[in-house]
Each structure stands twice: as C-alpha cells, then as structure tokens.
Copies of this chain bind each other. A is one copy, B any other.
C-alpha cells in the first residue's frame, strides 16, 4: 500500500475522500478546490475546505454535509432583524472555521498551514490542503455576463445559462509545498479525481499553474469517479451546466471532461452500458455503486477506485514489458 492523492470538493467528493481516509489514513493527501472561496462580512469562507473538514472530522450534518451536524441559525435571524441583506444563510457553527481562518490569515499564516492545523484539532489523520495558497476564483461565463461562481450559486440561484468558465488567478497561483511533497512521494499509488462538478470543483484544481502536467508526469495511475449517474448529476448543477455547454449529460461525457488526463474511470452500475464507449477512448473502466449513502459505501467505492488504479498500473507495466 502506497500513498494516495485525491482532488476533491463538494459533498460527494468529501464522502469519497472519507472512504479513502478510512483505507489509507495519514497516507492520503486531499487537494481541495478553493475556486469557490469568497468573503462575507470580510471573513474568509472556503466552502469546499470546510465541507471536507466536517466530513473527515466526522461532524458533518447527515443530511447537509456542507455544515456541522445539528446546525442552528439564530445569528442569521438576528442579522436579518438588524437589516442585513446577505442572502446566504450562514449557520451558527459554520461561522467558526471562517472566523478562525480569517484571524490566522491576518497573522499571515498560509492557508495550507491553517487547514492542516484544523485537521490536527479535528483529529483528521489525512492531510487536507488547498489547491493553492494564492487566490483563484472560478468565474462563470453566462449569457448575461461574467459572475463569480459564488454569486452564480447564491444571488443568481444557478439560473443563467452557462457558456463557459474561467479560473481567474490560476495561471499564476503556486502549488503549495504540501501538494508538491505528496506528488513527489516515491510510493504514490494513485491520484483520484473525486465525484464532483467538473467545471467548478475539479477543473479549477487542474488549472493551477503546472499541476495538470505534474499529475501526468508523476506516473501514478489517475482515476476519476463519475459525478453523473444515469442522465443526471447526483447533486448540484453539473447536469444543467453540461447540457448548456452543448454536451449530452452522461457518464461518458463526464469521462471526456478529463480526456488525456485520466487512466481510469469509475461509473455507476446503472451506466454499465457506457463502459465500452469509454474504453474506446483509451480509458480503463470499473463499474461500481457510486451513490454513497453509508460509511461502508464510501469505503467500498474508495476500494473500487484503488483496485482500478492497480489494474491500470498492471496494464502499464505489461505495456512497458511488451
């Protein structure tokens, strides 16, 4: 057993990262999307990092993994009573990480160090690190102009038609040392692209200057898990975006979002018929239940991903030997 890198974000991505953590513990490094980061009240919100910390720390809400279990909203009610026009409903417990993060950022600690500190406090053995300590902001190009992803999600409720995406700052953002260390680990076993929106969760990570190339060059099998099951996204707007970008909404299309990057792709059992088409693109395929309802589901999917990585590794070895 070697070390594992996961690229992740959102609730589904956090669930698979948790499965991998249960299998690999401290040998897992999770690189988390920060393209959705934003400020409210001058505080540094990192939704994907916080979702990851709640999930891996075992304190995520069962029905709403993006916030701690048992969340309450009395501060939000008070803010509205006092005339606040903020539309986002920030829970009482959910303000803790942004408050502490903002304080540490003001003291000039890098985001990666701050995030690893949260891992320590929450007893998370895996290493959760942001894709960069420099700001990258996902911009949605809509038929009504450019907006930040955060604005698209909250103010605009994902309504405008999506024409494309920009990852502002990604071309000059630096890869954190913790990510470089993980990429250079001599026993790197697999790189996992977790099931999450390709456009605003995984692609922003890949857009960080040099990261995509380093992933390819490090030689470890790169395995993605489809965020599309049947003809729709499990959660969120991936299906809607895929359609508006002119694509069919399918596991096959999801695989093509990572064409020339991934070696293997895990699709849900309901999409088994798509396996041949995806294999025809030169991508190894595994079929597994991808809907993670229980902790066992997370571990089983994580194991399926690592198994596929082993298949890819063996095939590559055989090709080299031939």
Interface residues in chain A, defined as those with a beta carbon under 8 Å from any beta carbon in chain B: 41-43, 68, 70, 72, 74-75, 77-79, 81-84, 92-93, 95-97, 99-100, 102-103, 106, 117-118, 121-122
Q: Is the CB of A118 within 8 A of B74?
A: no
**Copies of chain A in the complex:** 2
Q: Is the CB of A75 within 8 A of B75?
A: yes
Given that A72-B74, A92-B74, A92-B92 are contacting pairs, would A122 and B82 also be in contact in the complex, using a CB cutoff of 8 Å?
Answer: yes
Taking the closest CB of chain B, its distance from the CB of A72, in whole angstroms, is 6
Q: Is the CB of A82 within 8 A of B42?
A: no
Q: Contact partner of A42 among B81, B84, B102, B118, CB < 8 A? A: B102
Residues of B within 8 A of A68 (CB): 78
| Nearest residue, chain B, Cβ from A41 | B99
Residues of B within 8 A of A74 (CB): 70, 72, 92-93
| Nearest residue, chain B, Cβ from A118 | B82
Q: Is the CB of B103 within 8 A of A42?
A: yes
Residues of B within 8 A of A102 (CB): 41-42
| Nearest residue, chain B, Cβ from A83 | B121
Given that A42-B42, A82-B122 are contacting pairs, would A75 and B96 also be in contact in the complex, using a CB cutoff of 8 Å?
Answer: yes
Q: Contact partner of A96 among B43, B78, B103, CB < 8 A? A: B78
| Nearest residue, chain B, Cβ from A77 | B93
Taking the closest CB of chain B, its distance from the CB of A87, in whole angstroms, is 15
Nearest first, the 6 closest Cβ-Cβ pairs linking A and B are A78-B96, A83-B121, A78-B93, A92-B92, A41-B99, A74-B92
Taking the closest CB of chain B, its distance from the CB of A45, in whole angstroms, is 13
| Nearest residue, chain B, Cβ from A99 | B41
Query: How far apart sit A118 and B79, CA to CA, in the bound complex (Å)?
Result: 11
Residues of B within 8 A of A77 (CB): 93
